[in-house]
Amino acid sequence: MSSTLESPSPLNHSTKSTPGLSVLKLPDPGVASKRVAREIGALIRQRASENRNCVLGLATGSTPIRVYRELVRMHREEGLSFHNVITFNLDEYFPIKPNAAQSYVRFMNEQLFDHIDIVRTNVHIPNGTIELEAVPGYCRDYDELIATTGGIDLQLLGIGRTGHIGFNEPGATQDTRTRLVKLDNLTRLDAVKDFGGMDHVPLLAITMGVDSILQSHRIRLLAFGEHKADIVQRAIEGTMTSAIPASFLQSHRDVQYLLDDAAAECLSPSTTGELSQ
């Protein structure tokens, strides 16, 4: 089923087995990113009006940058306040210093946190500097902390060419929680440009697990470009398998993929709804 450009609401990719999954094809990454940013802004404001916190799950990488840019613009030009916002980032390289050029602490500061009025103690990013022996306890605490906030209201995701969400690489099962993982070679290859050589790319990372992600109330996954088309198709239309951790999102009750034309290229026409904005 395919909608017209004026369609007011997203269409569901609704087979019996994936009733909570919808897929939107948007004209370009900018339009898709603004749509997600607007949804996040509306959620923050709604929660603020109820005197409640808004808990966001945040992602790094090139994909969400436009969302953060739009949120910063909404803060500056539309008075969107992040005072009631609590954030949990998906992952961090391990080990890594927070001030390293490639650390996700630095990425989040530069892309978002330095430009908005978030309370710094409400920001959570897995700590790449703790002792190896302390990691399991730290990871348990991370999941527990998310739970004590009432859970993530909206989780922003990208998808890696391996099918990873967070750093849940092929082999990650549906029941995984926050933990230390080995990075897939393809993921490390994709990171070479940031680290200036394969030898400098970390072997390990701390990541929220597949189950930690699936606990989120809403999930919005952005994917842009033809290099994502094949994995997006397999994650959405293939069977759920730990060979493609993103495929487990099919079991979620409110997950939306927002794709540009190139990333949606391999999907069957019946899967996507098209929107102009």
Q: What span, in angstroms and rounded, lies between the C-alpha atoms of 75 and 115? A: 8
Using CB under 6 A, which of 2, 9, 62, 268 touches ligand PGA?
62
**Subset of residues 37 to 56 that bind ligand PGA, contact rule: CB under 6 A:** none
Burial of residue 205, with CB atoms counted within 10 A of its CB: 0-12 exposed, 13-18 middle, 19 or more buried: buried
Q: How many Cβ atoms from other residues are within 10 Å of residue 3's Cβ?
A: 16
Annotation says 169 is catalytic: yes
Site track for ligand PGA across 63-102, x = CB under 6 A: x---------------------------------------
How far apart CA 45 and CA 210 sit, in angstroms, is 28
* One-letter identity of residue 8: P
| Closest CA relative to residue 277, chosen from 22, 42, 79, 4 | 4
| Token code pair at residue 125 | 């990013």
Interface with ligand PGA by CB under 6 A: which range of 6-14, 45-53, 57-65, 106-114? 57-65
* Closest distance of CB 158 from ligand PGA, Å: 3
Task: Return the residues of window 133-172 that contact ligand PGA according to CB under 6 A.
Answer: 158-160
Tell me which of 41, 57, 61, 245 binds ligand PGA, using CB under 6 A.
61
- Residue placing its CB nearer to ligand PGA in the complex, 113 or 224: 224
User: What are the start-end ranges of the E strands in the chain?
Assistant: 21-26, 54-58, 85-89, 91-94, 123-124, 154-157, 179-182, 204-207, 218-223, 255-260, 273-274
Q: Does 2 bind ligand PGA (CB under 6 A)?
A: no
Alpha-carbon distance 83 to 182, whole Å?
35
Q: Does 57 bind ligand PGA (CB under 6 A)?
A: no
Of 92, 169, 237, 274, which one is the catalytic site residue?
169
Please give the size of the binding site for ligand PGA, defined by CB under 6 A.
Answer: 6
Q: Between 126 and 160, name the residue whose CB sits nearer to ligand PGA.
A: 160
The footprint of ligand PGA (CB under 6 A) covers 61-63, 158-160
Q: Give catalytic residues, as residue numbers.
A: 169
